[in-house]
Chains A and B, each alone.
Chain A
């Protein structure tokens, strides 16, 4: 807990420094957006629950859709001055002009990625959860590292879950990798893998609403895992709008608005055991 608040304090201090150059919310972004007076936000297609509800980010429903509108409002953009576009992960990191001011689709901030693109300060820090089917639990799977090592793992190849599984769990057989979460879950249903690592809100949703017999076996607390999963808004490298976005996010987290959005859209898990 103390570790978490320390990191958070660090983030706030760094953003305070950048705040120094940022002016009042409305003026900051002038001349910095790709289209004047309009904030263009990108997300995935499809965008998934609970990040965006019904793949319609313009409705402002879902955690990331709500964060985008809150950031926009903080930066001085009315809701009707926000336009949405879609991008894949690859489009987000390709060299050349971007077609968005910022892009949010649960991008984990990593040092390697920061060499190529810019990230905002984190808008969410996710705990990672292990999801399995009931049959694995019947076979004796427990929320302990020892037990997790013996499972067959699968993961979305485009996420940071792969190295985290390798470093945190180090399973005895090599993980199988898939294109997206849908395929990972399908492989679990096809009895090809036992377990996968998902962001906790996604894991809760998959277990409750998508899978017939999915169970969230346990979670790695966000502040204790070796690679905490901080989500950042992705921007083109060197985009001057970063200072405005960072200032807006910092203000939102200080005012408690970000926590409110989180409480509204992301299911709070009280009964998922911690893994040891």
Chain B
């Protein structure tokens, strides 16, 4: 009997919620459309709009340069492809050094702390210049002075510092009692790490690390400072020859086509994790 009475109330609440949702949807889309309409109406009426359009959104320039930009983007993909795994591994090594608890391993902790301080504090571009021009300048052979090698190494060293900090946060988020429990079962420090702490820590930091890798995806372009003609550099060359900024817009679209899906995926993973924990 009581259930029957509750039913209409439940339905009316569902209906109320649906109505509320509909209303907020209408408000949101109206306000969005208004903003877009205002932009669409006013921006082209600015006195310099034709010039800006010519400089940044020139269709002919876009069509003429886009295929070359896509070609150059392969270089970014390539550099990313070999840097990302190396960063994941080296970052973990640094994080483990920082977590070393035995007094004998104190030098490792110092090393990891200094490493993180230095590489997080120094601009990536400086690291790229220093390693990319500096090390080959010591007199290496042509094969070994290749800018791809040293540019990639610079990215790996810099980004590992950020990734290591994320790992460390993950490791420290696992409650101390789990270590004690593992110890009481007779697991060694490394077994505790590999079987108890790390598997959980990894899962927790996946979204945060994805953000690091999304930003690496853009910073790969910095390697162009020491020679490789990747997307951003190719766009710069076209810009310089045509005295037109449209190639940069083309480059931005290419970067966005990768970062937007990746960011959405990271958001999705974070939301999923919060739901599971909540």
Contact = CB atoms under 8 A, between A and B. Distances in A.
Contact of A96 (B51, B147, B236): B51
Nearest to A152: B142
Given A95-B54, A177-B233, A192 B243 contact: no
Given A157-B240, A176-B227, A192-B147, A116 B139 contact: no
Contact of A191 (B51, B140, B237, B242): B140
Interface in B134-154: 134, 136-137, 139-142, 145-147
Contacts of A154: 227
B145 A191 contact: yes
Contact of B229 (A113, A174, A190): A174
Interface residues of B, number: 34
A193 interface: yes
Contacts of A89: 240
A162 interface: yes
Contacts of A179: 225
A178 B243 contact: no
A162 B233 CA distance: 12
A152 B228 CA distance: 12
Contacts of B139: 191
B52 A95 contact: yes
Contacts, number: 94
Nearest to B230: A177
A191 B224 CA distance: 17
A152 B52 CA distance: 38
A89 B140 CA distance: 34
Contacts of A162: 237, 241
Nearest to B237: A157
Contacts of B52: 95-96
A117 to B, nearest CB: 6
15 contacts: A90-B245, A95-B51, A95-B55, A96-B52, A117-B243, A154-B227, A157-B237, A176-B147, A176-B227, A178-B227, A183-B133, A189-B133, A190-B132, A191-B145, A192-B146
- Across chains A and B, which 6 residue pairs bring their CB atoms closest together, nearest first? A176-B227, A95-B51, A190-B136, A116-B243, A113-B243, A95-B55
Interface of A: 89-90, 93-96, 110, 112-113, 115-117, 152, 154, 157-160, 162-163, 174-179, 183, 186-187, 189-193
